[in-house]
Structure 1
Amino acid sequence: MSLKKMFRGESTKAVHPITFMFLYLPFGIFNGYTSVTLGFLLTKAGVPLSGVASIVALPYLPNILKFLWAPLVDTTLTVKKWYHIANIGTAAGILATSVVPLNSSFLPVLMAVVLLTALANTNIAMTTEILIAQDVPEEEKGRAGGWLQAGNLGGFGVGGGAGIWLAERLSAPWMSGAIIALISLLCGLGLLFLKEPEPFKREENYLKTVGILLKDIWILIKSRAGFLALVLCFLPIGSGAASSLWSSISGNWNASPDAVALAVGVVGGVASAVGCLVGGWICDRMDRKKAYILFGLLEGAVAIMMAISPRTQLMFVIWTSIYAVTVGFAYAGFSAFVLEAIGRMGAATKYNVFAALSNIPIYFMIFVDEWAHGKWSSTGLLIAEAVMPVLGAALFISVFVLSRMKPAAVREV
């Protein structure tokens, strides 16, 4: 392929799915920087856990509601233009958060910056999902979903671990934000290796175009496969919510800032990325919904083992790293069963109907974990992480059995 064609995005050759990992990295980087780096720095500045949780949980709100503006990405501009707009907004927001003073007085300002950046950041996910839905054959959706989530969770580790490491060593807070923002911008180079996707069918009347898209979504949800996927997204099975609070509770294990940066940053990012790739490989070799449930139960088992282990820095690094692997499994499983369900066209809206629901249990679990921590310290938090996947799996199995007993209630199309 010539350089001229590459820069125009005219390549017709299928690219390695690692490209999608790089494109998805800014989505994870922002969430990691917000959850881990800001969470750590706010805790260090004396902000109570309730205030930290409000910042950590805030990016999930746009991710819950992003299906509302996903049709714009499917039906206006081009996918690559939307990606560049989102990536520039994400980088600018990361830089802005490093300028706002980190104390209780400025929490409202910080919340506003985080919320606006999160709104832009959602479009990183949507555009990459369109690209992967159209470029990857059906039998490789599990593998591709693994690479996609490797970018998500690997980026979380970069934004979190590298963010803490840089913030602890650089003289001015904005420097770490500027470096993380630059890394996010460079990830957009992955677009050079992909052609512009086929656009969704567009009518002269925009509302008619949206109507066609919504009809496709309704047909998907009415199918048994779509309905079961929707239910599975709503349950707290593989949320990985504790990852957002590790830096805030690391003191219970006497973990140093460097150990936290290592555990939730470099090691955690690599561990979760490996988990994504292995999980994606497994999903191409068994039922993808069953794989997701299995991965969520493994995540809960690791939380129990961490709860009964000694509270030492070494145990903190070991168990958070193993937990990161299981979170990678679960995230790959999620992408695999959703990509399987949605098909090729209208991918941003369809995928994000499911993704929006999947963020509800993550958002909910952060506050469940915070509540359990307030009641029973870190042990309570970890037990909550173990109990909820079991309850979620039991609920899904019940729905699955009922859907087989009453096929007329959920019509296959």
Structure 2
Amino acid sequence: MQEDAAEPSVTHSERPWIFGLLIAPVAVLSNGVISGVLSYLLRQQGVGSARGAAIISLLNLPQTIYFLWSPVTDFWILRRNWLMLGSVASAALLMVAFHQPNLATRTAVTLLFLSACLCQLVVASCGGMMGTLHAEATRRRASSFYQAGSLAFGALGIFVLASLAGKFQLGTLGWITAALVALPALIAFGAPRQDFIQTNGFNDAMARVWSEFKATFIRWEAIPYTLLMTFPIASGAAIGLLPGLAVDYGVGGQQIAWMNGLGGAVLTAAGALAASLVPARISAPVAYLTSGIINATTLAVLALGPLHPATYFTGVTLYLFTVGAGYALFTAVLLEFLGASGKSGSGRYSIINSLGNVPVVYMIFLDGKGYGHWGTRGLPATEAIVGTLGAVILLAYFLTRKQQPAV
């Protein structure tokens, strides 16, 4: 059974800010551990860069394929309970992995992979719960807090674990890491009140799920929304590539660490929160596409400006801030595409969200090609041009469409 989104009397108790806290467990694990300090810990244990990169790549895979198991969060127990269960189980496996002789062993990597898989239940649960929010303004604010929390807690995880890595043994660090993943899940007790959806057995439940899937995906309006998910709009693909360009602009190591580390996380989180200021009367797709064009414009600073530190700092600051806003508005579009959460909200949210990872992958590839062909300026120019073209095409549609999507 699962929560219903059809009861308007609960609107007053919706707390959009709480989603910035509910996402903390997966933010700490995915951004703080896997994409943050794990490579450093592996190097400390004598693991080569190539092997370390392969392990981290594998551990990032659950973020793309979690739609395969995330529908479980639509059944049997409340989504907030699934969030807590996934977080605690993930933390337990993470702690056991850190107690292995080496994090690169088959056992440790398997435990870390399973931990990453279980923690994705947090994302699915949050998506299903956000789908039960009623007012568009509330959904927008929830989207902003959700993305800001993800970025902020990820940066906090990196800061805490990197600071402690040299002071404690790996086993002790495992206990600390597990606590950072598990304890924030208790915030789910404060999630907005949501009721169960009653169904008359398995067949009735599956009929309802199929009806909701058709209402979301099998309709003409789903095509432009699918393109919104898969077009390279404010993808943030250059985030991990810009530090490699810094030296060409005369920027040093400490400055790179600040701008693309904690400072960068603050900028993207601030951008995500700023997106909540966009009035709800402006449709989510129009706001998202406009932010995408602005984000692409910021890359023009790097592509056209002089190779000077001021150019790098200005361009990257604007880029990271607008990426944060784009991420928040992307989530708002996702929720509009999803419609009411119903019986299958977590599963449908996971499918749509997984589509959003596609442009990040291919834009990293295209950005690399741009650098290979045209050098330092080619990387930001490639993302700026491709992102602008995609955003302009879809913006023309959403500005002229006559019919709002059915939900």
Matched, 1:296 2:292: yes
Q: What's 1:305 paired with?
A: 301
Q: Which amino acid aligns with 2:210?
A: L
Contact 1:32–1:158, Cα closer than 8 Å, also in 2: no
**Residues 4-403 of structure 1 aligned to structure 2 (within 5 Å):** 14-33=13-32, 34-39=34-39, 47=48, 54-55=54-55, 57-58=57-58, 61-92=61-92, 95=95, 106=104, 112-167=110-165, 169-173=166-170, 178-195=175-192, 197-205=194-202, 208-245=204-241, 255-256=252-253, 259-282=255-278, 284-307=280-303, 308=305, 310=307, 312=309, 319-341=315-337, 342-345=339-342, 346-370=344-368, 372=370, 379-397=377-395
TM-aligned CA distance change 1:315 to 1:58, over 3 Å: farther
Contact 1:20–1:190, Cα closer than 8 Å, also in 2: no
Deviation at 1:284, TM superposition (A): 1.9
Deviation at 1:331, TM superposition (A): 1.1
Name the SS for the 1:344 alignment partner.
coil
Deviation at 1:35, TM superposition (A): 2.0
TM-aligned CA distance change 1:222 to 1:274, over 3 Å: same
TM-aligned CA distance change 1:411 to 1:327, over 3 Å: closer
TM-aligned CA distance change 1:66 to 1:411, over 3 Å: same
> Distance between the aligned counterparts of 2:336 and 2:189, measured in 1?
26
Contact 2:136–2:280, Cα closer than 8 Å, also in 1: no
**What is the count of residue pairs matched by the alignment?**
392
TM-aligned CA distance change 1:25 to 1:319, over 3 Å: farther
Deviation at 1:217, TM superposition (A): 1.5
Deviation at 1:237, TM superposition (A): 1.0
Q: Deviations over 1:329-351 (max 9, x none)?
A: 11111111222232231321222
Contact 2:213–2:348, Cα closer than 8 Å, also in 1: yes
Q: Deviations over 1:44-69 (max 9, x none)?
A: 97955x76665555455333333332
Taking structure 1 as the reference length, the TM-score comes to 0.78
Larger CA deviation: 70-79 vs 247-256: 247-256
Q: Deviations over 1:353-402 (max 9, x none)?
A: 21011111223333444555566665444333323312422453577699
TM-aligned CA distance change 1:265 to 1:202, over 3 Å: farther
Identity of aligned residues (%): 23
> Distance between the aligned counterparts of 1:299 and 1:56, measured in 2?
28
> Distance between the aligned counterparts of 1:340 and 1:42, measured in 2?
41
Deviation at 1:124, TM superposition (A): 0.6
Q: Deviations over 1:100-137 (max 9, x none)?
A: 7889xx49777645532331121111112222222452
Contact 1:289–1:337, Cα closer than 8 Å, also in 2: yes
> Distance between the aligned counterparts of 1:369 and 1:56, measured in 2?
21
- Give me the CA root mean square deviation: 3.9
Gaps of 5+ in 1: 1-10
> Distance between the aligned counterparts of 1:51 and 1:370, measured in 2?
22
> Distance between the aligned counterparts of 1:381 and 1:98, measured in 2?
38
> Distance between the aligned counterparts of 2:86 and 2:63, measured in 1?
14
> Distance between the aligned counterparts of 2:164 and 2:247, measured in 1?
20
Q: What's 1:4 paired with?
A: none
Name the SS for the 1:199 alignment partner.
strand
Q: Which amino acid aligns with 1:22?
A: L
Instruction: Looking at secondary structure, tell me which structure has more helix per residue.
Output: 1
> Distance between the aligned counterparts of 1:359 and 1:57, measured in 2?
14
Deviation at 1:36, TM superposition (A): 3.3
